[in-house]
């Protein structure tokens, strides 16, 4: 399967994404063997409130990227949708649009509404697409809850899409986004008030601490339905990608974020499986509920027990003595 993925076989890529969506040992094993083939793609996160035009915009950008001989993988993640695997209507239309083109791969992803699930599943899926040779991978995420922050941690570049109009658009931009966005798009520039939205974002950006990257996030206007302004958007993406220094910093940040995520998931998994001391985990939850133990103390006890259990597990002991013997 790995050879087929690296060879770019679409059916294997699709199957592999289903495997990583399922998480568990099969996902870990697959990522383990595919990972060495990844690391070449640029991962672009696109987020924004529901209905601002992200999918339409990504479509247009994909067409332009293709005209520049770049292959594109799109992962559409909707944390508000309970549907898994399949595609919502818009994405299904989109797949048809690019269907004859082997240089485009579009996939909707299930996240099951779990905390950290968005970045976890889409990070792994991005590794698959990266290994399959796609040059640009777009993570499109509906901006609700923690989604934007997560998507920016899993990407090399974060694009925030807004639209003109009261309530939605600029006011809906959360403070955290002002810090993490690398580019803003005010889409639906055919609607009234687009210029004003651009000005509002610009003035919010004035308040932003200058980062180490000397990159001032551009604020662009687009009309995704006609494609107006999308060439400028792709140009700006290319300019950002060409800045290798900031990209390396991002990649390091991305690796660190992913590692932290897997470490905490593994610790929790061990604690919940509670192989050595059945009932300890549940007992601690009970005690936190009735306030006889505080969450900090409970967490320390859990981590301590997990570590102690690992140390005494025979296979781990063998590993430790192997390491000690060098």
Q: Which of residues 29-68 bind ligand GTP (CB under 6 A)?
A: 50-56
- From the list ligand GTP, Mg ion, none, pick the one residue 123 interacts with, judged by a Cβ distance below 5 to 8 Å according to partner type: none
Spatial distance between the Cα atoms of 43 and 140, rounded to a whole number of angstroms:
11
At 249, list the tokens: 């910093």
Q: Which of residues 121-160 bind ligand GTP (CB under 6 A)?
A: 142
Identity of the residue, 55 or 222, whose beta carbon is nearer to Mg ion in the bound complex: 55
CA atoms within 13 A on the CB side of 217: 28
Of the candidates 119, 125, 120, the one whose C-alpha atom is nearest the C-alpha of residue 105 is: 125
Q: How far is the CB of 144 from Mg ion (least distance, A)?
A: 12
The site map against ligand GTP for 80-99 (x = CB under 6 A) is ----------x---------
Identity of the residue, 32 or 174, whose beta carbon is nearer to ligand GTP in the bound complex: 174
- From the list ligand GTP, Mg ion, none, pick the one residue 53 interacts with, judged by a Cβ distance below 5 to 8 Å according to partner type: ligand GTP
Helix axes 230-242, 54-67, angle to 10 degrees: 70
The answer to whether the CB of 137 falls within 8 A of the CB of 73 is yes
- From the list ligand GTP, Mg ion, none, pick the one residue 221 interacts with, judged by a Cβ distance below 5 to 8 Å according to partner type: none
Identity of the residue, 150 or 200, whose beta carbon is nearer to Mg ion in the bound complex: 150
Q: How far is the CB of 60 from ligand GTP (least distance, A)?
A: 9
Taking CB under 6 A as the criterion, the residue among 123, 152, 187, 246 binding ligand GTP is: 187
Q: How far is the CB of 132 from ligand GTP (least distance, A)?
A: 24
If one counts every other C-beta atom within 10 angstroms of the C-beta of residue 143, the result is 24
Spatial distance between the Cα atoms of 8 and 133, rounded to a whole number of angstroms:
7
Residue 170 has what DSSP assignment? G
Nearest residue to Mg ion, by Cβ distance, number only: 55
* Contact range with ligand GTP by CB under 6 A, out of 8-16, 35-43, 187-195, 209-217: 187-195
Of the candidates 109, 120, 117, the one whose C-alpha atom is nearest the C-alpha of residue 78 is: 109
Return residues touching Mg ion (CB under 5 A). 54-55
Q: Which residues face 106 on adjacent strands?
A: 74
At 285, list the tokens: 């939850």
CA 283 to chain centre: 35
Of the candidates 202, 138, 164, the one whose C-alpha atom is nearest the C-alpha of residue 53 is: 164
Q: How far is the CB of 74 from ligand GTP (least distance, A)?
A: 11
- Contact residues toward ligand GTP (CB under 6 A) are 50-56, 90, 142, 187-188, 190, 223-225
């Amino acid at each position: 399967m790995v050879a087929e993925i690296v060879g770019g076989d679409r059916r294997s890529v699709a199957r592999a994404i289903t495997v990583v969506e399922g998480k568990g040992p099969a996902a870990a094993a697959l990522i383990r063997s595919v990972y060495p083939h990844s690391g070449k793609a640029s991962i672009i996160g696109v987020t924004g409130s529901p209905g601002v035009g992200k999918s339409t915009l990504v479509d247009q950008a994909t067409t332009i990227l293709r005209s520049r001989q770049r292959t594109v993988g799109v992962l559409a993640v909707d944390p508000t949708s309970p549907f898994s695997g399949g595609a919502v209507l818009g994405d299904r239309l989109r797949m048809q649009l690019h269907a004859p083109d082997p240089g485009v791969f579009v996939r909707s992803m299930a996240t099951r509404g779990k905390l950290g699930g968005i970045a976890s599943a889409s990070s792994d899926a991005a590794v698959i697409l990266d290994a399959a040779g796609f040059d640009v991978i777009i993570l499109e995420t509906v901006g609700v809850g923690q989604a934007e922050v997560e998507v920016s941690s899993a990407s090399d570049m974060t694009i925030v899409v807004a639209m003109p109009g009261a309530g939605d658009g600029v006011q809906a931009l959360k403070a955290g986004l002002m810090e993490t966005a690398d580019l803003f798009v005010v889409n639906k520039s055919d609607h009234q008030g687009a210029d004003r939205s651009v000005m509002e974002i610009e003035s919010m950006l004035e308040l932003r601490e200058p980062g180490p990257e000397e990159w001032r996030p551009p604020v662009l206007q687009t009309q995704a339905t006609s494609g107006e302004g999308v060439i400028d958007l792709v140009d700006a993406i290319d300019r950002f990608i060409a800045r290798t220094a900031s990209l390396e910093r991002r990649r390091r940040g991305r690796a660190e974020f992913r590692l932290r995520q897997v470490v905490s998931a593994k610790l929790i998994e061990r604690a919940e499986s509670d192989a050595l001391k059945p009932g300890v985990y549940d007992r601690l939850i009970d005690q936190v509920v009735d306030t006889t133990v505080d969450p900090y103390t409970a967490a320390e006890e859990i981590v301590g027990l997990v570590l102690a259990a690992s140390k005494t597990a025979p296979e781990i002991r063998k590993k430790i003595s192997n390491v000690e013997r060098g």
